[in-house]
Structure 1
Amino acid sequence: MTHAVIIPLFNKAAYIAQTLQSLLRQHKLPEELIIVDDASTDHGLSITREFLHHHTTKFGACRIQIIELPENKGPGHARNVGFAASSSTLISFLDADDEYHPRLLEMAAEAFSRHELDFMVLNITFMPGREIYPDLDPLKQYIEPIAPDLYLIQDPLRAVSSPHFIMGVGSNVITRRKWINGHYYSAEAQLNEGIDFWYRVLKGIVNKVPGKIALQTGAYLYVNEVPGSLSRKNYTHFKQVELPPVISRYINSNDKHDRLLMGMIGERWYKHALQNLTSNHQKMCFVWYHRWFLKPYLGYLLLKMNFKS
């Protein structure tokens, strides 16, 4: 089963070599490695070229492509370009500051083949603190063990709207390429754009097949908590806080799963803004400016309560 790893690269000179090294350590090398440089302004691209030049033979038959974009259009656009250049059966997007456990690609190929999976979510180990997410205890009602550290997700659209679930954060999804066809990252979005993209892919699978959706635990993905990342960004003006695409996409949806996801992401978005805005005045402005969100948020809380009862 062939596997393409697509890396969007933008100003990750401090991390890209160790990310590539994590691929070189794989027990099963990827059949395709596609690196899309999003007009980096640091030395990340030259470090990438030098690393690949010195280790070309170690990648064996892996087909390696480097795509240089003429202007920066964000990680979503870079991933779209990388996917269009791929041809493998399995697809994963690996951020240029994340790392794979040496057995990840081997494990994924075996799990997809043996259990006929369509979609796999990986748990995440955040570095350097080694916190592991998600905690399985709040998710017990949604998961059924089928192998060591591998669980089938029951009612996946409901599961991914749980605040305890993590999907589309970092590089924690692997799927068959046929399910991505026709879906694109929102190129202009950089806040929770991965959640928006993978939810649409997942919804397409569930509505058509319904398919086998799995959660793979066992710490196969390491996500570095990078200073200056969007999750840690400070804002001096409330309008700098981007509206997540999940909210704008599903604010008027009548689908209960869309509304649950929209509410859960909206709650995170509000907390993110109030934690990261640098003045109380700007926090007050944010709350007033987005007062329109109060009504759909209350609807989300009521819907969540009905699901629990």
Structure 2
Amino acid sequence: MKYSIVIPLHNKAPYVCETLQSIVDQTVLPYELIIVDDQSTDGSLELAARFLEQVPERFRSVRVELIALEENRGVSYARNLGFSTTSGDIVSFIDADDVYAPELIQKATQLIAVEGMDFVVLGIQLFPSHVRYPAFRKIAPDLEEVETDAYRMKHPLKTVTSRHFVMGVGSNVIAKRKWMETVRFDENVRFYEGIDFWYRVLKVVLNDPDSKVGMLMGDQLRVREVEGSLSRKKYRSSRELVLPPVLVRYKNSNDRYDKLLMGVVGARWIAHAFENLSSRRQKIRFVIRHAGLFPRQLYYFLLSKTP
């Protein structure tokens, strides 16, 4: 099976070569690598190009395409464009400051080809803090081990909407291309867009009753904690905090799992707001602005406690 990797790139000069090195070091190389530069201003694209000119001979069989955007369009646009350029059977995205373990492609391809998985979520390790997600012991009863560090989800929607799970953070999903062809990243948002995208892809996968959803643990994806990134951005005004897309998309949904996902995402978003708003006044304004959200969040929290 042909494996495609898409890297959205924007001002990651200190890190992009390490990310690329983690792909060059794979025990099984990808079929193609697509890099979409979202108008970097720090020389990131030039660094990537020079690095790829010096790769070992074995990597020269990989189809590489570098796309330079003429204007900054955001990470979702870059991912969508990158995906439309791929031709592999399996597709994954990796941010240009994160790192793959050397056996990731080999293990993921085996899960998909041998075990028949359609959609695989990767456990992640943040660095330098070494914090790991998901909370494996909390979700273990809903998993069936198929290989070392590899599992099939018995009830995928239940698992991915658990408070103890993380999907869409650090682009930690690998999937068959066919399931992604009708879904696109929301280009109007730049925060929690990955959670929204992969949840919609998962729902497409689960329309097929014979599909399988898996999880690969073992620190296969290391996600860098970068000061100043969107997940760690500091806000001077509560107006800068826009609603995560799942809270808008599923606001009127009666589906239990949509509600559970809104509960998880909403709780994380509120915690993020209180941690990163610059002043007590702005925190109060945030509460007033989104007062209608808090009763729903309590309801979703109580819902997550029920069987």
TM-score range, shorter chain: over 0.9
Deviations 1:204-239 (A, max 9, x none): 111233511111011111111111111211101001
What RMSD, in angstroms, separates the aligned Cα atoms of the two structures?
Answer: 1.2
Q: Which aligned pairs between 1:30-45 and structure 2 lie closer than 5 A? A: 30-45=30-45
Deviation at 1:42, TM superposition (A): 0.9
Which amino acid in the other structure matches residue 151 of structure 2?
Y
SS in 2 for 1:123: strand
Find runs of 4+ consecutive structure 1 residues off by over 4 angstroms: none
Which amino acid in the other structure matches residue 214 of structure 1?
G
Q: What is the TM-score normalised by the length of structure 1?
A: 0.96
Deviation at 1:163, TM superposition (A): 1.6
Q: Which aligned pairs between 1:62-81 and structure 2 lie closer than 5 A? A: 62-81=62-81
Give the whole-Å Cα distance in 1 for the aligned partners of 2:233 and 2:44.
Answer: 21
| Corresponding residue of 2:297 | 297
Aligned 8 A contact 1:98 1:171 in 2: no
| Corresponding residue of 1:166 | 166
SS in 2 for 1:306: coil
Which amino acid in the other structure matches residue 46 of structure 1?
E
Which amino acid in the other structure matches residue 226 of structure 2?
V
Which amino acid in the other structure matches residue 272 of structure 1?
H
Give the whole-Å Cα distance in 2 for the aligned partners of 1:189 and 1:220.
Answer: 27
Which amino acid in the other structure matches residue 219 of structure 1?
D
> Is residue 91 of structure 2 the alignment partner of residue 114 of structure 1?
no
Counting matched residue pairs gives: 307
> Is residue 291 of structure 2 the alignment partner of residue 284 of structure 1?
no
Give the whole-Å Cα distance in 2 for the aligned partners of 1:147 and 1:106.
Answer: 13
SS in 1 for 2:304: helix
Aligned 8 A contact 1:251 1:296 in 2: no
Deviations 1:34-88 (A, max 9, x none): 0000111111011011111122734131110001111111111100000000010
Greater shift, 294-303 or 102-111, is seen at: 294-303
Deviation at 1:296, TM superposition (A): 2.3
Deviations 1:166-187 (A, max 9, x none): 1110021100000001100001
Deviation at 1:142, TM superposition (A): 1.6
Any gaps of 5 or more consecutive residues in structure 1? none
Which amino acid in the other structure matches residue 194 of structure 2?
G
Q: What is the TM-score normalised by the length of structure 2?
A: 0.97
Give the whole-Å Cα distance in 2 for the aligned partners of 1:57 and 1:34.
Answer: 19
Give the whole-Å Cα distance in 1 for the aligned partners of 2:207 and 2:115.
Answer: 20
Deviation at 1:147, TM superposition (A): 1.1
| Corresponding residue of 1:180 | 180
Give the share of equivalent positions with the same residue, in percent. 44
Give the whole-Å Cα distance in 2 for the aligned partners of 1:291 and 1:210.
Answer: 42
Aligned 8 A contact 1:73 1:188 in 2: no
Give the whole-Å Cα distance in 1 for the aligned partners of 2:146 and 2:80.
Answer: 32
Give the whole-Å Cα distance in 1 for the aligned partners of 2:209 and 2:77.
Answer: 28
